[in-house]
Structure 1
Amino acid sequence: MVAGSIRDFYNTTFRKLIRRHLATEGPSFPDDFKLLHDLTESERAQMQTLIDNLRLSFRQEFKRLHFEYNQTRNDLGQIKRRIADAESLSEDAVVKADRQRKKEVDDEIDSLGEQVGALEQTISNDQVAIVNKEKQLDELRKKLKASAQDLEKDALTEALSRRLRDYITLYKERKKEALAKQIHKGLKMLMHKKGFVHDVKVHIIGGDIEIELYNKRGDVILKEGLSKGEQQLYATALLYGLVEESDFDFPIFIDSPMQKFDDQHAENIVRHFYPKIADQVILFPLINKEMSAREYEMLLPNVARSYLIVNQDADQSSFEEVAPDALFSHYSKLYHNAN
C-alpha cells in the first residue's frame, strides 16, 4: 500500500510539472474524461501550430506597438519642449524687434527688385526706340538727298496721271456711245416694229451701267412695260452690243432660245443674230417648242455639230451626237414613234 501511494504521488507530481512547463495552458480534465469528438494527430498538430503562431505573432506585435508608443511619446515630449522654447523666445523683445526688422528689410528688397525690373524694361524700350529713331533718321536723310529728283518725278507723274484720267474718261465716253449704237443696231435688226426704239443711251455711274431706251417723242421706254418677247429681244440686242464692243473672242451659250418670240422675230434672230454673234455659239433649245424645224432649216448652214440629250432612266441622261441634217428626223424617230 505504501509503495502504491508513493507511485501515485510521483505520477501526479510529474503530470503537474509536465502540464506546467511543457503543455499549453488549458482546462484540466478528470482522469475518467472521454472525448465525444476528437481530432486526428495531424489535425491536432495543425491546430496547435495555428494557436502557437497566433500567440507568438500577438506577443511580437504587442511589443512592437509598445516600443513605438514609447518612442512617439518621447518625440512628442521633445516637440512640446521645442514649442515651449519657441514661444518663450517669441515673447522676447529683442527677437520681436529683429523679426520686425527682417520683415522690413525683406519688403524693401522686394520693392527694390520691382524698381530694378521696371528700370530694365524702360531701358529695353528706350534702346528699341533709339534703334527705330536711327532708322527713321536714315530714311529722312535718304529722302532729303532724293527730294529734288522726287519733285521732278512727282510733277511728271501728276502730268501723266492727268493725261491718263482724261484718256480713260474719253475712252469711256466713246465706249458707251459705241455700245449704245450697237444695242440700237441690234434692236433695229431684230425687231419688226421699225422705229419702236428711236434712240439708246448708256450711262456709266461708278461701276454700274444704266441703259435707257427712247421713242420718237424722246420719252423713256420703261423696260418693265415691254412684253416678254420684247424683253428677250432687248436682252439679245444687249448681248449683241457687248460682244461687238468686246475685245475678247469667247463662245456664247444661249439657253431656251426664241422661247418668247413670234415667227417674224424668230426668223430675224436665226438669220441675223446667231450666225454673227460669235465664232462659236452653243444653243440649248427644246425641239418643236423653242425651235421649229423651219427655223432650224434656216440655221442649218451654220450648224457644225448637233446633239440630243437622251434619257437613259429616271436618274441618268446622256448626250448622243446626231448629224446636223438628221436632228429633227432622229428626234421624231426616238420620241414620236415611241409614243
Structure 2
Amino acid sequence: MIFTELVLENFGPYAGKHTINLRPEIEENTRPIILFGGMNGGGKTTLMDAMRLALYGSRAQCSTRGNLSYSDFLSQAVNSQTPPYEKARIELAFEHFQDDELLEIRIVRYWEKKPKDGKDHLGILIGKSDQELVEPALANTWDEYIETLLPLGISNLFLFDGEQVKELAEQDIPPQAVIEAIQSLLGLGLAEKLSIDLDILVSRKRKEIATGLQLKDLEKIEEKLKYYQQESEAANRELGNLKNQLERAEKKRKEASNKFRVQGGKIAAQKNQLDLEKKALEKAAEESRKDLCQLAAGILPLELINPLLQQAKNQGEQEIKIQQAKIAKKLLQERDQKLLSYLSELALQSEKLKKIQSFLEQENQILNQTTEADHTSFLNLNEEELKQLTNILDHQLPLETNQAKKQVELLEKIETEMESKEKELALAASPEEYDKLDKALQEADQELRKCQAAYEACQRRFDEAKKGSDKTKKELEKYSEEAIDYQNNEHLIKAAARAKQTLQLFKEKLTLKKLNKLEGEVSQCFRYLLHKTDLVNRVAIDTQNFSLSLYDPNGELIPKHRLSAGEKQLLAIAFLWGLARVSGRNLPVAIDTPLGRLDSSHRSNLVERYFPTASHQVILLSTDTEIGKTEIEQLKELDAIALQYLLKYDSTKRQTTIEPNRYFW
C-alpha cells in the first residue's frame, strides 16, 4: 500500500482546500520520505488525525477526540472560519494490489458543522485505467474491507507519534493500544473468538435438550453468568482508567515531593530541630572558648617566648656550672698545697717533685680557663629556680600546648557544623512558601490515596465478579453433567470443553512461536539503531504482559533503568519497528514528532538507519528542532527525501497554509 494523495478542506486549522501529493517518487526514482515541517500547534498532528479519520471514521483514535462523541468531534474538527454553507472534507487516496492488479482507492468523508445523524458521509471511489468509479457497496462494508488491508488493531504500529514512543519508553508494561496490536498481530484474537463461539454453541445445546424446569434453572444460571461477565468486563475497563489515574497521581505526588524538598519545604519542616542543633553547637563553642581562655590564663602564653625561655635555661645552666667550677678550684688549690707539702716531707727527688708540681699547675690552668671564660652572668639563678624553668619547658608547656591545639581543632569543627546548619536554615522556605508547598504535597497525597482506594475497590469488584463467573461456570458444568441425559449433546458439550483446552494450549504455543520471531526482529532492530553495539545482545518479551527484558552478550539481565532516556526511546522505536516487520504487511509508516529527547548520536542513528528503511513510504511530521539542518543534510546525502512541505501557522487568522518544496531551511 502507498498513500498517494491527501486532500483537506476546512479541517482543523486548514481553511479552504489543500491538496497534498504523497507519492514517494521523483522522476521515476523512489525515495521513501515525505517530510512535513511545522512548529508546535501548526497542524502536524492534524494531518495524522486526518489519515486516521479517513481510514477508520468513528473508530479512529484521533489525538483531539478524547471522550467526545463522534458527532461532537466532527463539529469541533470543522475550521472556525468555514462559512455555514460549506462543508469539511477529507480525502485519502492510496494504491494497492488486488488480484495482481494495481488499484487506486480514494476515501472521501465530508460533513457539516452540525453533522446529520451525528455521522459523516462516506464515499469510496476506485480508479482503474485513469477512471474513478463510485462504489456504494464498498462504502457500506468499508470497515470490514479496511480491516483486510490495515487492521485498526495494528494501525498504531504504522501511524504513531512521539508521545506514543515516549509512553512506551517510560512504561515497564506496554500501553493497552500496543498490547492489543500485539495480540492482533499474533492472531490471538482468533483463538479467543473461537472459544467464545464454543461457549455460545454449548449454551444453545443446553437449551435445546433442557426441558421445563431444567430450562428455567439453566436460564437463571446463564443470566447470572452473563451478569458476572458484564460486571467483570466493566470492572476491567474501569481498572484501566483508574490505573492511568493512579499513575498520574503517583507522578504528581513525586513532583510535589521533589518540589517540597528542592524549594526548602523539608528543611522548613525541620527548622525547630535545626535551631535546637544550632543552639547546642553554639553552647559547645562557648564552652570550648572558655576552656581556651582558662588555658590562656595559665602558663600557655609562655609558648610565645619559648625560644627566649630556652636561652634563659641554657644561660642558667652555664652560670651554675661556672659557680660550681669556682668552688671546685678553691678546694683543689688547697688540696694541691697540702699534697706538695706532704711530698716535700717525703724527701722526693727534686726532679720528680718539679714534675708533679708542673702537672698540678697545668690542671689548675685548665680550671682557670673555665672559671675565667668570657661569660657574663646576669640571671643568677639557683638550682631550684632552674629546675622549675626546666619543668615548665619540658613538661608543663608541651602538655598545655597540646590541650590548646585540641581545643582549637574542636572549636573549628563546631564552627564548621554551625556554618552548615546556618546554610541549611538559609535554604528553608519562608512560612508562606512552606504553607503553599505543604498544601500542594498534602493535596497530592490525598489524591494519591483516593486513587489507590478507588483502584483497590475496583480490583476487589473485578476479583469478586471473576470469582462469581468461575463459580457459575462450574454450576453450568455440573448442571450439564447431572441434569442433561442425552448422549449426543453430552458428547458435544464435553468435546467443546476439550476443544477449549486445546485452543488454550494452541494459543500459548502460538504466542511462544510468534514471540520468538518478534524477539529476534526487535533485538536486531535495537542493535541496528544503537551506537553501543555491545550493550544489548537480546531483547526478551514476556508472554503474559509483553514487557521487555534486556540481556547483555554474557546473558546477564540489564536493568532497564540503566538505559538513558534516548536509549529507551530507541528501544520503543525498535519494538514498534519489529512488530511492523513481523506483521508481514507492506504498509506506509507515518511518524509525528519522531526524535523526542534523543541525543546527537542516537538521533544520527535514527536518521541514517531507521527513517530510510522503516518502510517504502515514510511520512515524517517534525519541528525545526527535531529534524534540523544536520539531519536534513544526512537525509539528502542518503537521497531519501522525495517531497518536502512547510506548514506555516498564522496565529492572527488561526489558520495553517501548506508550502510545497520547502522546509525550514
Task: Return the TM-score normalized by structure 2.
Answer: 0.26
- Normalised by the size of structure 1, how large is the TM-score? 0.48
Higher RCO (CA-CA < 8 Å; seq separation 6+): 2
